[in-house]
């Protein structure tokens, strides 16, 4: 009984410790300076006075693959917001999924990139995929979604951050 009591107390302490940790990138945070490469050059994700959507994905994630395929198919609905599709896995850029993303690859406002996993985790705090971050034109985080979501919800958030009056519906 003493052993079970100690076990439960340990669990409670762990839950409290994890529950009180400060969130690394709360809503209202400024876009962190994060470097990515597209194999031609190295850049930083910036707002350039326009909204930004960042999608962090892993190639082996089936939800990420689904989200990327939908975005590729419906690219014309995404508008002119800058979209950064970033991963920590170099292998993605040589696999068959990347090669099917022709619409996204050729879109002027979409950038695929490779980031260092340590840097991403330090600045965003979460490595769950897919993860979407929406920053307004001033670089303030206005929304984040961790996990699979409906494309119409993404469109609604993109339109909200760029100030469009027309919002799509859709729930997570």
pLDDT tens digit string along 156-172?
888 777 665 433 333 33
Tell which residue, 108, 106, 126, has the closest CA to residue 55.
126
* Chain position carrying tokens 């993109």: 158
Q: What are phi and psi of 30, to 5 degrees?
A: -80, 145
This prediction's pTM = 0.79
Q: What is the pLDDT of residues 23-60, one digit of tens each?
A: 678 899 999 988 998 877 888 888 888 889 999 999 88
Residue 128: per-residue pLDDT: 86
CA atoms within 13 A on the CB side of 97: 19
For the purposes of burial, counting CB atoms within 10 Å of the CB of 100, is it exposed (0-12), middle (13-18) or buried (19 or more)? middle
Work out the average pLDDT over 55-81.
91
Angstrom CA distances, 109 to 46, 106, 172, stand at 12, 9, 25
Between CA 34 and CA 128 the distance in angstroms is 18
> Could you read off the pLDDT of 112-122 as tens digits, one per residue?
999 999 999 88
**Can you tell me the mean pLDDT for 52-81?**
91
Structure tokens given for 7: 């076990």
């Amino acid at each position: 009984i003493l052993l079970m009591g100690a076990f439960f107390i340990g669990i409670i302490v762990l839950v409290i410790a994890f529950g009180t940790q400060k969130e690394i990138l709360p809503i209202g945070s400024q876009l962190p300076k994060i470097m990515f490469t597209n194999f031609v050059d190295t850049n930083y994700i910036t707002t350039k006075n326009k909204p930004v959507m960042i999608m962090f994905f892993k190639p082996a994630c089936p939800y990420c693959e689904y989200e990327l395929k939908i975005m590729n198919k419906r690219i014309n609905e995404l508008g002119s917001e800058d979209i950064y599709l970033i991963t920590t896995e170099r292998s993605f850029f040589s696999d068959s999924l990347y090669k099917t993303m022709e619409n996204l690859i050729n879109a002027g406002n979409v950038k695929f990139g490779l980031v260092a996993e340590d840097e991403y985790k330090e600045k965003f705090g979460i490595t769950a995929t897919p993860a979407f971050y929406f920053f307004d034109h001033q670089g303030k985080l206005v929304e984040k979604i961790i996990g699979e979501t409906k494309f119409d919800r993404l469109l609604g958030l993109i339109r909200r951050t760029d100030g469009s009056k027309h919002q799509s519906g859709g729930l997570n």
